[in-house]
Amino acid sequence: MGQFLDERHVELKRRAHAWADAPGLESEEDARVLVAKLAESGFLRACVPAAYGGLRDKVELRDLVVLRAALGYRSSLLDTMFAMQGLGSYPVTLAGTDAQKQALLPRVVTGEAICAFAITEPEAGSDVSAVATRAVRDGDHYVLDGEKCFISNAGIADSYVVFARTSDDRHRGLSAFLVDGHANGLTTEPIALIAPHPIGFVRFRGCRVPASALLGGEGEGFALAMSTLDFFRTSVGAAAMGMAARARDEAIARVKARRQFGKPLAEFQATQIAVADMAVDVAASTLLVLSAAHRIDVSGQGSSVDAAMAKLYATEAAQRVIDRAVQLFGGQGVVAGAIVERLYREVRALRIYEGTTEIQKLVIARGLLR
Ligand SMILES: Cc1cc2nc3c(=O)[nH]c(=O)nc-3n(C[C@H](O)[C@H](O)[C@H](O)COP(=O)(O)OP(=O)(O)OC[C@H]3O[C@@H](n4cnc5c(N)ncnc54)[C@H](O)[C@@H]3O)c2cc1C
């Protein structure tokens, strides 16, 4: 992988794996505790630029990728809490004024500000341009009204980047706002998923935010959302790759130990073929993810197509690998609390959020046919 990562990323990867191995971290289900632990570890510094307490001059995708793969290997909730600190602050890094950056980014690193990114609505999922939440200018304030759903960290976030409509133009009518999680007129309601993940509805009823909460200019919200998602999509692939690598390792250990018909499962050719298929899926995902991250960080040639391919392939491959691992475990694979059972539930959402598999295919095809 040397052609994609330099020593800094390799060292970060080594530290992240060693840290995430700590007893108790994998089973911790309190999202706030995990953010505090991530803050203590210093890894949240990878989410913001050095000028605001971050690790590098600019946020590097290769840092996010090695960290998400290492965290995802141990706990998908740990990975989610890390990723949301990045996703929910990156629009501020990209488009915020110095005052907005000073107010938020150092608190992202210390874990004092838990972040959220709010686009999705009941009638605006894959079609982001259908966002109906309105932001109406009233003197030196905007007044927000509308409903968001499937918002990660709803209810625990201190800071929401909210995409709302300031005019009727489908794309250029969207603007982004930095909204305090404790603002009057903002309420939340949890949604229970198949795996641990703080998520829910966020409702705005006459929620007044100062005009200084506008991120970038009016009408720049759609482009800002797409730039943020383009950047983070590759890292979703990395999280999937980490989860798949864990399933592969668990399955290899199991088939060496488990005996049937007088010998270890590992000695049956059908098992060997399954293990080989898993290994190839993990290796191919790793190459796509690292090459996309490298192209986006370094060469400036990286594009939406690279990010979409990495996310699409790695999340679909992780689902295959984890399903094979469950099969190799037999009945033990579906016992509640087994590692592969947990991975089986946790990996599913990755093919849906930050753009479904089908939407990634549209991004790839449009990029190539343009
Ligand atoms: C765990 C989780 C966390 C999330 N976190 C956040 C968050 O923090 N912030 C946020 O804003 N959102 C978040 N989301 C929402 C997520 O981004 C959306 O669920 C996703 O974009 C899909 O939208 P939808 O659920 O409305 O599905 P729909 O858009 O209704 O899609 C349903 C199906 O139709 C397919 N489809 C849609 N359009 C097309 C098309 N043109 N061609 C072919 N097929 C199509 C889709 O691929 C999918 O299979 C999260 C979702 C989940 C599950």
State pLDDT tens for residues 30-63.
999 999 999 999 999 999 999 999 999 999 999 9
Q: Which atom of ligand 1 is nearest to the CA of 193?
A: 1
Q: What is the reported pLDDT for 188?
A: 98
Question: 45: which 2 tokens?
Answer: 């510094």
Measured at the alpha carbon of residue 350, what is the angle toward residues 348 and 356, in degrees to the nearest 5?
A: 105
| Rounded alpha-carbon distances, angstroms, from residue 327 to 297, 333, 349 | 38, 7, 20
Measured CA to CA, the distance from residue 236 to residue 25 in angstroms comes to 21
State pLDDT tens for residues 96-153.
999 999 999 999 999 999 999 999 999 999 999 999 999 999 999 999 999 999 999 9
State the greatest distance between any 2 C-alpha atoms of the chain, in Å, as a whole number: 80
What distance lies between CA 99 and its chain's CA centroid?
A: 26
What distance lies between CA 369 and its chain's CA centroid?
A: 28
| Rounded alpha-carbon distances, angstroms, from residue 286 to 26, 53, 84 | 23, 29, 22
The dihedrals phi and psi of 259, each to the nearest 5 degrees, come to: -110, 135
Confidence of residue 13 (pLDDT cuts 50, 70, 90): very high
Mutation to probe ligand 1, out of 128, 356, 361 (largest number of atoms < 8 A from CB) = 356
Mutation to probe ligand 1, out of 147, 353, 360, 364 (largest number of atoms < 8 A from CB) = 353
Catalytic residues: 354
327-331 long-range contacts (CB < 8 A, ≥24 apart) are 327/274, 328/251, 328/254, 328/255, 328/265, 328/271, 328/274, 328/275, 329/250, 329/251, 329/254, 330/258
Measured CA to CA, the distance from residue 248 to residue 279 in angstroms comes to 7
Shortest CA distance to 20 belongs to which of 71, 93, 83? 71
State pLDDT tens for residues 144-190.
999 999 999 999 999 999 999 999 999 999 999 999 999 999 999 99
Q: What is the reported pLDDT for 370?
A: 87
State pLDDT tens for residues 269-315.
999 999 999 999 999 999 999 999 999 998 766 689 999 999 999 99
Mutation to probe ligand 1, out of 151, 152, 222, 352 (largest number of atoms < 8 A from CB) = 352
3-state secondary structure of 133: coil
Question: 240: which 2 tokens?
Answer: 């999937």
Q: Which atom of ligand 1 is nearest to the CA of 359?
A: 47
Residues contacting ligand 1 via CB (< 6 Å) = 117-120, 125-126, 150-152, 193, 197, 199, 349, 352-356, 358-359
User: Distance, CA 170 to ligand 1 centroid (Å)?
Assistant: 18
Q: Which atom of ligand 1 is nearest to the CA of 127?
A: 29
Q: What is the reported pLDDT for 3?
A: 85
The dihedrals phi and psi of 263, each to the nearest 5 degrees, come to: -150, 165
Q: What is the reported pLDDT for 142?
A: 98
Q: What is the reported pLDDT for 299?
A: 73
| Rounded alpha-carbon distances, angstroms, from residue 206 to 9, 167, 198, 238, 320 | 45, 17, 25, 39, 46
Q: What is the reported pLDDT for 265?
A: 98
Measured CA to CA, the distance from residue 215 to residue 209 in angstroms comes to 12
Region 326-349: what's the mean pLDDT? 98
| Rounded alpha-carbon distances, angstroms, from residue 9 to 13, 45, 55, 66, 223 | 6, 13, 11, 7, 29
Shortest CA distance to 186 belongs to which of 158, 217, 224? 158
Q: What is the mean pLDDT of the chain?
A: 97
Confidence of residue 23 (pLDDT cuts 50, 70, 90): confident
Q: What is the reported pLDDT for 1?
A: 64
Confidence of residue 234 (pLDDT cuts 50, 70, 90): very high
Q: Cβ atoms within 10 A of the Cβ of 317, count? A: 24
Torsion of CA 248, 254, 256, 260, to 10 degrees: -130
Region 248-271: what's the mean pLDDT? 98
For the chain, percent of residues with pLDDT exceeding 90: 96
User: Distance, CA 127 to ligand 1 centroid (Å)?
Assistant: 8
Strand-strand pairing, 115-118 and 199-210: unpaired
Give 124's strand partners. Answer: 121
Q: What is the reported pLDDT for 12?
A: 97
Confidence of residue 350 (pLDDT cuts 50, 70, 90): very high
Shortest CA distance to 104 belongs to which of 79, 119, 85? 85
